[in-house]
């Protein structure tokens, strides 16, 4: 298993609150802006989509690719970040 980024570690270490969508691992400024333009401005809004998709990795990755053009690494980083956050806080 690959190691997690500092961004990932910081995100999963505490409740989500009002964090920006760009606080999610795998989501930088470019993808963050694309998500914001489609109404996904906060990390919790992306979490909502993640939960609507029943935490299914393939569905979430496809949604992220279709919604903001995330590549495979970005998709995996974001999925792993949300999955670990859910394991800790839900």
pLDDT tens profile 28-51: 999 999 999 999 999 999 999 999
The CATH number of the domain covering residues in 6-89: 1.10.150.40
**Which parts of the chain have pLDDT scores under 50?**
1
Instruction: Give residue 1's pLDDT.
Output: 42
Q: Rounded to two decimals, what is the model's pTM?
A: 0.94
Phi, psi of 71 (to 5 degrees): -85, 180
Instruction: Give residue 27's pLDDT.
Output: 98
Phi, psi of 54 (to 5 degrees): 60, 35
Measured between alpha carbons, how far is residue 23 from residues 1, 41, 70 in Å? 22, 11, 15
Would you list the domain boundaries of the chain? 6-89
């Amino acid at each position: 298993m690959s190691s997690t980024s500092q961004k990932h570690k910081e995100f999963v270490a505490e409740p989500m609150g009002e964090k920006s969508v760009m606080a999610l691992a795998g989501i930088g400024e470019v993808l963050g802006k694309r998500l914001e333009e489609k109404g996904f401005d906060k990390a919790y809004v992306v979490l909502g989509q993640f939960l609507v998709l029943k935490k299914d990795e393939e569905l979430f990755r496809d949604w992220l690719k279709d919604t903001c053009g995330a590549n495979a690494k970005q998709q995996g980083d974001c999925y792993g970040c949300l999955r670990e956050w859910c394991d800790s806080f839900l």
